[in-house]
């Protein structure tokens, strides 16, 4: 097994901007501690670790056509660009959970989509499974955090 350069780049570009969270002011309210939310948190963590590992070890190297790589680049650019914009304007951490039009938690949906599309692009079924776990965990946890942010002054 060897490292996938394309998978490593995607994983780094999706995961490293989360370090910018340290630069955003404010604190996030604690989400409710429901059993379903705890299960979603476990899935979220498994999905995060799984996406990182599966992306690093993805068997392909962009074996599918260029539109897939273009879609990955677009999703990653949107995600990183949003992080940079939030930090540049000194936005509150709550802005991470602000909706974009019809997308209620885009900062949770976009990385999931980026990993899922990367799975197709690199022909990596384990990355697809991991992105599914990430979706089942990260999106509900982010929706709960968004509700907590709206309900807390």
Rounded to 10 degrees, the C-alpha dihedral 68/72/73/77 comes to 150
The predicted pLDDT at position 108 comes to: 96
Reply yes or no on whether the pLDDT at 141 is more than 90. Answer: yes
Which residues fall within 8 angstroms of residue 11, CB to CB, at 6 or more apart? 51, 52, 55, 56
The predicted pLDDT at position 64 comes to: 64
Average pLDDT for 85-101: 90
The predicted pLDDT at position 9 comes to: 93
Average pLDDT for 129-143: 96
- The alpha carbon dihedral of 138, 144, 148, 149 has a sign of positive
The predicted pLDDT at position 61 comes to: 60
Average pLDDT for 59-80: 85
Distance in angstroms (rounded) separating the CA atoms of residues 139 and 106: 9
The predicted pLDDT at position 2 comes to: 78
Which residues fall within 8 angstroms of residue 105, CB to CB, at 6 or more apart? 97, 99, 139, 142, 143, 146
Reply yes or no on whether the pLDDT at 119 is more than 90. Answer: yes
Reply yes or no on whether the pLDDT at 4 is more than 70. Answer: yes
The predicted pLDDT at position 25 comes to: 82
Q: How many CA atoms lie within 13 A of 57 on its CB side?
A: 11
Domain boundaries, the chain: 5-151
Distance in angstroms (rounded) separating the CA atoms of residues 126 and 34: 29
Q: How confident is the model at residue 132 (pLDDT cuts 50, 70, 90)?
A: very high
Instruction: Give the predicted TM-score (pTM) of the model.
Output: 0.90
Reply yes or no on whether the pLDDT at 65 is more than 80. Answer: no
Reported as a single tens digit per residue, the pLDDT across 26-41 is 777 766 677 778 899 9
């Amino acid at each position: 097994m060897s490292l996938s350069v394309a998978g490593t780049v995607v994983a780094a570009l999706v995961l490293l901007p989360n370090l910018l969270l340290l630069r955003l002011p404010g604190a996030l309210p604690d989400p409710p501690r429901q059993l379903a939310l705890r299960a979603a948190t476990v899935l979220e963590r498994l999905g995060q670790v799984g996406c990182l590992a599966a992306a690093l070890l993805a068997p392909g190297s962009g074996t599918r056509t260029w539109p897939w790589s273009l879609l990955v680049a677009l999703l990653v650019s949107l995600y990183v660009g949003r992080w940079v914009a939030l930090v540049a304007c000194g936005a509150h951490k709550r802005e991470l959970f602000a909706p974009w039009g019809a997308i209620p938690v885009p900062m949770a949906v976009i990385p999931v989509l980026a990993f899922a599309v990367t799975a197709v692009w690199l022909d990596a079924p384990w990355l697809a499974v991991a992105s599914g776990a990430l979706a089942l965990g990260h999106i509900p946890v982010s929706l709960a955090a968004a509700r907590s942010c709206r309900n807390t002054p």
